[in-house]
Chain A
């Protein structure tokens, strides 16, 4: 199946029956797929008048305690930021998919990773974080969409699936595993009508008194710290003895693996560190993957965004360099290999 369609089917397998979206390239296969599938199983697919409206429909749906998803691509995600901030502030679960394309502005429609800052720093106004998951294969899309719904409900926090146009268009075999649902999670907070309840439920992010807003902010902080300590995920490839570790996520990490294989053939001890959660950033895992390293090469389809988290995580322990392609251009394995080789000559001991 195609990556974009797998997002949709995985959501269904996770018990999601509601999708609100607005068309934008390169993620349109996802809403198209769900517009066929959801009505078949008693769900609702609704095309909103704008991304702004779509995310606010998600806000309303999430408030009733159902599993709900929306998707878009970079410029559309910018439009959704207002609603995402309200969802984070009101502590509602949902999944937001961003199949990134080049920017800024209207940019282009080719794959990019230039929304990393926006995704991992909240994105809208206020102190908040999304849980950001970055799949690197079609199978991993299926796994992370399902896990994403559970994380969203466990922490009552919006989750973003961050991919790029290449991943969305890619076809690979996929196993969806067992069907799940959100039934086991507490929904006593949901606004579904009082139905005999004594006190009304209110979904809200307004706290006019600074003392009260501070308490709310501190509670959010506590949640974020817990997520940071418990939910990081990463994959390390040949990093145990690696002198040069390539840090890359999503599709770029797959290309980096090919580059590392080329380097290994030439006797260069290289490896790949691939964060799967971009927020929380897997700091410990990166440090563990670079115990033998002399230098870290960060590769992204951006001007250098994740590289800041790599530097923050390593905290000056190792030299960090950057190689990126932008505008929808994809780094080649050969080009990454050349960078590994250059860094190995610069920092490495053994050839």
Chain B
């Protein structure tokens, strides 16, 4: 029988540890498919975060470095500056990138480091058990905002793409979602564009992917898809926030 669907070469055969309904698995697969299609597996170095994707180095079949919490863009910088021929990507969650690692991501973009960042925004700290994140929506209940996030106490969720779009060094910034097949396809296109730009030496690229955490949102997976579509996309609009044509 002909094989019509298979695991991308850039993924190992390790079983994902992710919860049912979590989108990390889809996003891992999209990154791996892009690495395969662009023929980059052999020269790629991935930087894993601290958070749910901490074991990314077990899943991607590429050389990997496990970074300290939030520091992946700095580690990626160290790799890219010493080995410019490698393709370097960091894979980071919202707590990692938009809270503890805000300085590292802003300055990597400001320097236009020729790296690709996959930023998975699920509006919560998953690994540590559902605490409030810098991208938690107003009113969203978490274990550390049990009555719902209140702006008087903790301010407002951070829009990373919009924030980084102010930096001339940021070459490509896009926000996508994986809540339905059409958006999964668009996410893959964005990821492919980001890696392609790195191959061409065009500078810093980041794809923010809105994704679900049914476990810590206390929702059924299908409900969680609706939360992305109705609530998250309302505050975090999808789209391209910087294109190479605009970048300078």
Contact = CB atoms under 8 A, between A and B. Distances in A.
A contact residues, range: 35 or more
Nearest to B45: A191
B219 interface: no
Given A194-B41, A196-B42, A203 B64 contact: yes
Contacts of B57: 200, 202, 204
Contact of A60 (B42, B62, B79, B107): B79
A86 B74 CA distance: 13
A53 B83 contact: no
Contacts of A276: none
B68 A200 contact: no
Contacts of A86: 67-68
B104 A194 contact: no
Interface in A56-107: 56-64, 66, 68, 82-83, 86, 90
B87 A193 contact: yes
B192 interface: no
B67 A57 contact: no
Contacts of B238: none
B contact residues, range: 35 or more
Given A57-B78, A63-B78, A200-B63, A194 B68 contact: no
B77 A46 contact: yes
A205 interface: yes
Which DSSP category, helix, strand, loop or mixed, fits chain A's interface?
mixed
Interface in B151-210: none
B151 to A, nearest CB: 28
A249 interface: no
Interface string B100-112: 0001101100000
Contact of B63 (A18, A48, A62, A193): A193
A329 interface: no
A18 B80 CA distance: 12
A316 to B, nearest CB: 41
B192 to A, nearest CB: 19
A60 B66 contact: no
A169 B107 CA distance: 31
B112 to A, nearest CB: 13
A200 B86 CA distance: 14
Instruction: Choose among B12, B47, B83 the residue with the greatest number of A CB atoms under 10 Å from its CB.
Output: B83
A202 B104 CA distance: 22
Contact of A56 (B42, B43, B45, B74): B74
A206 B66 contact: yes
A50 interface: yes
A262 interface: no
Contacts of B106: 49
B140 interface: no
B82 A64 contact: yes
Nearest to A53: B74
Nearest to A190: B63
Contacts of A66: 82-83
B63 A52 contact: no
B98 interface: no
B43 A46 contact: no
A200 B66 CA distance: 13
Interface string B79-122: 10111011100000000000000011011000000000000000
B41 A64 contact: no
A211 B213 CA distance: 30
Given A49-B107, A83-B71, A194-B62, A60 B43 contact: no
A46 to B, nearest CB: 6
Nearest to B80: A60
Nearest to B88: A60
Given A18-B81, A46-B81, A192-B45, A60 B75 contact: yes
Contacts of A52: 71, 74, 103-104
Ranked 3 nearest A-B pairs via Cβ: A60-B78, A56-B74, A60-B75
Interface of A: 18, 20, 44, 46, 48-50, 52-54, 56-64, 66, 68, 82-83, 86, 90, 191-196, 200-206
